[in-house]
Amino acid sequence: MALSRLQIQHFRNIQSASLEPAGGLNLIHGVNGSGKTSVLEAIWFLSVGRSFRTHLAHRSIAHDQSQFTLFTRLSEGDRLGLQRQRDGDNDVRINGERPQRLSDLAALLPLQLISPESFALLLDGPKARREFIDWGAFHSDPQFIGVWSRYRRLLKQRNQLLRQQAPARQIAIWDQQMAHYGQWLTERRSRWVNSLNGALEGIIRQFLPDVPIQVSFSQGWDTKTELEQLLQQSLERDVQLGYTVSGPHKADLRLRVDKLPAQDNLSRGQLKLLVCALKIAQGVVLGQQQQRRCVYLVDDLASELDQGRRTLLLEQLQQTGNQVFVTAIEPEQLAMVRWDKKFHVEHGRITEQAD
């Protein structure tokens, strides 16, 4: 899957733009504030329906406009469109029709984002790592999103009963359902992480050859105990706290170097390479398992990487055979590979450049 056409209107400082990106490496360059990151943000919106820069989506609308409009045609013919009003209304279309749920966009356009904020995957709490795992599970199994939604609703209901100090027999009814869906989620997550490890090992060997990194899946509770049994055993504690302490909602991806958390042993440059390896591996496994391509968005690639590591990262991205969008201030910073297409951004105007 790749974008064959991208149209952007009234999005941040981009008043109107139309691009026909290449299916391989695309470089988007310009000075800070020119609008190059906004191109990546627009693509992200078309996949997940929100921004990766702010939770206030109306800030992405040009200041003198009431809405922005985004459209893309994918290489296999599907058309995705999204219009966002300043009052918060969304109009999402897939091939001219309104989808049943927003996740239908992500199913058609799998994306991986690598940006300076991607450090959150390693440095923040487990939520970002759960979302990372769930990306793979979602794209590998069409039932995942439905089961995940059911588990979340059950968890919310159980927590409400805990706060109300409802009778144990009443909570036990929810425990049975939570255990059923929670075990299903855990099996899919574990299966994806196991698949990821195979692809990740080779990429890490290229990026960090002298660093012994171990990647493992933590399911969110003691593996020796069945989930329903655990929920029953921890009921008194959960009632005191007012929420469910253990379960799939506490799952995590653990990355260690010599038995210590990776973030405690690696430099900033090494951490960025590890994050890049994780993101690249996601797309590789998707291709291996589902014969589907992932689009990579790489913002400010040159940041905190020396010339050798930039070259290594670009070569790994190129070897995936997937579509890649990379932003940079100076194209000379990334002259080590041959770009399929280059786009220059200046004051929100986007121009394709010939080699």
Q: Known binding site for ATP: residues?
A: 30-37
For 287-312, letters b (16+ CB in 10 Å) and e give: beeeebbbbbbbbbbbeebeeebbeb
Stretch (H or E) spanning 9:
strand 3-11
Sign of CA dihedral 332, 12, 26, 321: positive
Nearest CA-CA partner of 295 in 110, 116, 139, 138: 110
Distance between CA 277 and CA 185 in Å, rounded?
24
- Residues 255/215, Cβ–Cβ less than 8 Å: yes
Integer Cα distance of 220 and 246 in angstroms: 6
The C-alpha angle 206, 212, 216, rounded to 5 degrees, equals 100
- Determine how β-strand 349-353 pairs with β-strand 252-257: unpaired
Contact of 14 with 38, CB cutoff 8 Å:
yes
What are the binding residues? 30-37
H/E run at residue 342 = strand 341-346
**Regarding beta strands 67-74 and 3-11, do their DSSP bridges make them parallel or antiparallel, or are they unpaired?**
antiparallel
Whether residue 213 contacts residue 274, with contact meaning beta carbons closer than 8 Å, is answered with yes
Place of tokens 């996601």: 282
The total of other beta-carbon atoms located within 10 Å of residue 127's CB is 12
At a CB cut-off of 8 Å and minimum separation 6, what does 338 contact? Answer: 25
H helices of 208-327, in order, are 227-233, 235-241, 262-265, 268-290, 307-319
